[in-house]
Amino acid sequence: MTLDPLLHAPVTIQIHALAALAALLLGPLALYRRRRDRLHRVAGYGWVTAMALTAASGLFIPAGILPIVAGFGPIHLLCLAVFVALWQGIRAIRAGAQARHAETMRSLYWQALGIAGLLTLLPGRLMNETLFGAAPWLGWLVIVPGGLALAGFALRTRTRMASPRPA
């Protein structure tokens, strides 16, 4: 592992990576604490801020593989989806819909940070180079089991939500 690729990347990418790392680390504390107290709120505000900064900085990163219009591509749609999901989650908690708020924020965590995070480990990407250096194939050793774990988590969540709840 070497930080050189990340340290020599454009500032926008450095901000994006640091904000994503902050969101990744704050997420479990904000989203999975049993007690919904002051620590949950503080971590939640920090997590929302980090997610918004991740999405905002992502808008300034060139599309790379699939630019469609004026340098923007499908990856930029994910940034917009993050803003929409954050807005929906905040709107839900302000309306007192705690279950909807929790589901929205947890889904955002796993989809935006889990799936997109795994994709940053593809060979040829900056984070792969940063973490695996001369052995870019090692990214696949994280991507495949991580993708399977995310798929299992999504299936378990969908099954639990679809099953009838006792009265």
63: which DSSP letter? Answer: -
Asked if the structure places residue 70 within a domain, the reply is yes
Q: CA 98 to CA 93: how far, in whole Å? A: 6
pLDDT digits (tens, 9 = 90+) for 71-99: 677 778 889 999 999 999 999 999 999 99
Residue 22 within any structural domain of the chain:
yes
Query: Is residue 132 in a domain?
Result: yes
- Kindly report, residue by residue over 29-72, the tens digit of the pLDDT: 999 887 778 999 999 999 999 999 999 999 888 866 665 666 67
Instruction: Average the pLDDT over each of 3-12, 26-35, 153-162 and give the range with the smallest value.
Output: 153-162
Identify the residue whose tokens are 């980090």: 50
Task: Return the sign of the alpha-carbon dihedral for residues 7, 12, 15, 19.
Answer: negative
Q: Is 141 among the domain residues? A: yes
The domain containing residue 140 runs over which residues? Answer: 4-162
* Within a domain: 167: no
Which residue, chain included where needed, has tokens 């495949």?
Answer: 144
Residue 147 is assigned to a structural domain of this protein: yes
Residue 50 domain flag? yes
pLDDT at 156: 80
Per residue in 38-47, is it b (16+ CB within 10 Å) or e — as a string? eebeebbebb
The one-letter code for the residue type at 153 is: F
Number of domains in the chain: 1
d(CA 145, CA 95): 38
Whole-number Å distance between alpha carbons of 96 and 111 = 24
- Would you state the pLDDT for residue 81? 93
Closest listed residue to residue 106, CA positions, set 167, 164, 166, 160: 160
**pLDDT tens-place string over residues 44-53:** 999 999 999 9
Q: Is residue 107 part of a domain?
A: yes
Over residues 105-158, the pLDDT tens digits come to: 999 999 888 888 898 899 988 999 999 998 999 999 999 999 999 898 888 877
pLDDT at 7 exceeding the cut of 70:
yes
pTM flag (> 0.75): yes
Q: Is 61 helix (H, G, I), strand (E, B) or coil?
A: coil
Residues 6 or more apart whose CB falls under 8 angstroms from that of 47 comprise 23, 26, 27, 29, 30, 31, 105
151: number of Cβ within 10 Å: 11
